[in-house]
Amino acid sequence: MHETDMTKALILTIKDWWEAQPTPPNIEKIHLLVGEFTCVEPRSLQFAFETQTQNTFLSGVELVIKDIPLIAFCHPCQQQYWPKIGEQYACPHCHSPMEDIRSGRELKIDRIEYSENNSLASS
Amino acid sequence: MHQTVNAALGVNLLQANQTEANHNRDHFDAWGITCFNLMSSPGAGKTVLLEKTLSVLSSQLNLAVIEGDMTTELDAEKLRQSGVPVIGINTGRSCHLDAKMVAGGLHQLQENYQPETFDLIFVENVGNLVCPAEFEVGEHTKVALLSVTEGDDKPLKYPVMFQEADCLLVTKMDIAPHLDIDINRIEENVRQINPNVTIIPVSAKTGEGLTNWFNWVYERINQNSIATH
């Protein structure tokens, strides 16, 4: 379950960011981008996140995972295509190998949504 | 007033591992060591292949092994028979080696040996076709093994590992005649995702293909020492 390790890395990154803010913000959602052509299962990430954040500053925070499709670009045909994972990766038109992956390898923390209480802001 | 704000991060989830892997690679380069990461499913024959490889190459090269195993020292013990230094790392519940674990292995190597005397280090990863593919450990070269009993569809089902491999060893070739396996089909499937990979059919039992594998190892060491000097 390498999703457990990835969740640990996720929590540490968020914690660094949270602690670096002038006043600790109230985090509501964390948005992740997870490519289809990675070894990460979004459901496992969700589960690991829920269990690992219990009784922490991230308790109850929603993890929003956006699946990013695998898109490849075929240079001989000069067009992009959508490989069928588990079945066919070569270009469906000319059968050239999948050499140029345009999306689907993402494993990213995209953004954090948090609420700010203006009366507490230092302005 | 309640207001929702967005903070863009754009941070890779594996960034910490990548940083550590780069750090390991800097050490290897400074010591003049080439590092191979061997990956496959459990039982594809990594340890037996390593036994054969160590027994032949250790007369000409200074070798060491970093051995990842979930709970035991069994593989490490087996490989120590060759006289080559073997550093065993128990990964515990983790199903792959990560860069931090390998860094721990490098510290042990530094404490007990003179790292700059080694030419080549084999990292034997935990048997798993999924997780090790995402965790670089600082290697210069990735070697994947696929045994003929596993079926020719595995490169399609576990594409990330086979896409990243520099060399694919198709192992247990001695039993291929008894199976309905099409070696050409394995090659076709791998080349869909990795057209430039070197594919070497081998049998550790009969010795088939091992000379090709050893030649490939030498080639990689030479390429790497040219690149890093």
Q: What is the CATH number of the domain that holds B209?
A: 3.40.50.300
- Chain B residues in contact with A75 (beta carbon < 8 A): none
Residue A9 reports pLDDT greater than 90: no
Using CA coordinates, name the residue in chain B closest to A29.
B6
Query: Partners of B90 in the beta sheet?
Result: B69
Model pLDDT for residues A17-47, shown as the tens digit of each residue: 999 999 989 999 999 999 999 989 999 999 9
Residue A23: inside a domain:
no
Place of tokens 């965790």: B135
Predicted ipTM of the assembly: 0.82
Query: Is A123 domain-assigned?
Result: no
Beta strand A26-35 with A107-117: parallel, antiparallel or unpaired? antiparallel
Whose CA is closest to B155, among B2, B64, B146, B82? B146
Which member of A86, A89, A111 has the closest CB to residue B7?
A111
- A59 inside 8 A of chain B by CB: no
- Domain range enclosing A64: 2-17+28-116
For residue A28, give how far its alpha carbon lies from the nearest alpha carbon of chain B (Å).
Answer: 9
Residue B64 structure tokens: 């060491």
* Edge-first strand listing for the sheet containing B63-69: B86-90, B63-69, B120-124, B34-39, B141-147, B167-171, B198-201
In a domain? residue A84: yes
Q: Cα–chain-centroid distance for residue B194?
A: 17
- Please give the Cα distance from B93 to B102 (Å, whole number): 16
Say if CB A33 and CB B122 are below 8 A apart: no
Give the DSSP letter of residue A98.
-
Is B8 part of any domain? no
Tell me what the pLDDT averaged over chain A comes to.
91
- Count of domains for chain B: 1
Best mutation site among A1, A5, A18, A115 for testing chain B: the one with the most B CBs within 10 Å?
A5
Q: Does A123 touch chain B (CB under 8 A)?
A: no
Q: Do residues A86 and B156 make contact, with C-beta atoms less than 8 angstroms apart? A: yes
Q: Is A107 on the interface with B (CB under 8 A)?
A: yes
Q: Assess A23–B contact: CB distance below 8 Å, yes or no.
A: no
Express each pLDDT in B1-56 by its tens digit: 567 888 888 889 888 899 999 999 999 999 999 999 999 999 999 999 999 999 99
Distance of CA B58 to the CA centre of its chain: 18
**Is pLDDT at A16 greater than 80 in this prediction?**
yes
pLDDT in tens, chain B (229 residues): 567 888 888 889 888 899 999 999 999 999 999 999 999 999 999 999 999 999 999 999 999 999 988 778 888 889 999 999 999 998 877 788 999 999 999 999 999 999 999 999 999 999 999 888 889 999 999 999 999 999 999 999 999 999 999 999 999 999 999 999 999 999 999 999 999 999 999 999 999 999 999 999 999 999 998 887 6
A104 found inside a domain = yes
Which residue's structure tokens are 């002038």? A22
Tokens representing B148 are: 């003929």
SS (H, E, C) B18-63: HHHHHHHHHHHHHHCCEEEEEECCCCCCHHHHHHHHHHHHCCCCCE
Domain count for chain A: 1
Stretch (H or E) spanning B160: helix B159-164
Say yes or no to pLDDT of A2 above 60.
yes
Q: How far apart are CA A97 and CA B196, in angstroms?
A: 10
User: How large is the C-alpha radius of gyration of chain B?
Assistant: 19
State residue A122's pLDDT score.
44
Interface test with A, best of B4, B9, B100, B126 (most A CBs within 10 A): B9
Q: Rounded to the nearest 5°, which phi and psi values hold at B102?
A: -65, -35
CA distance B132 to B209: 25
Whether A120 shows a pLDDT value over 90: the answer reads no
Site of tokens 């390991």: B24
**Inter-chain CB proximity B3 and A9 less than 8 Å:** no
Write out the residue range of the structural domain in which residue B47 sits: 15-223
Whether residue A52 is contained in a domain is answered as yes
For residue B228, tell me if it sits in a domain. no
Residue A67 covered by a domain: yes
| Confidence band of A56 (pLDDT split at 50, 70, 90) | very high
The predicted-structure confidence for A63-104, as pLDDT tens digits, reads as follows 999 999 999 999 999 999 999 999 999 999 999 999 999 999
* The pLDDT value given to residue A118: 54
Would B9 be classed as within a structural domain?
A: no
Can you give the CATH number for the domain in which A95 is found?
3.30.2320.80
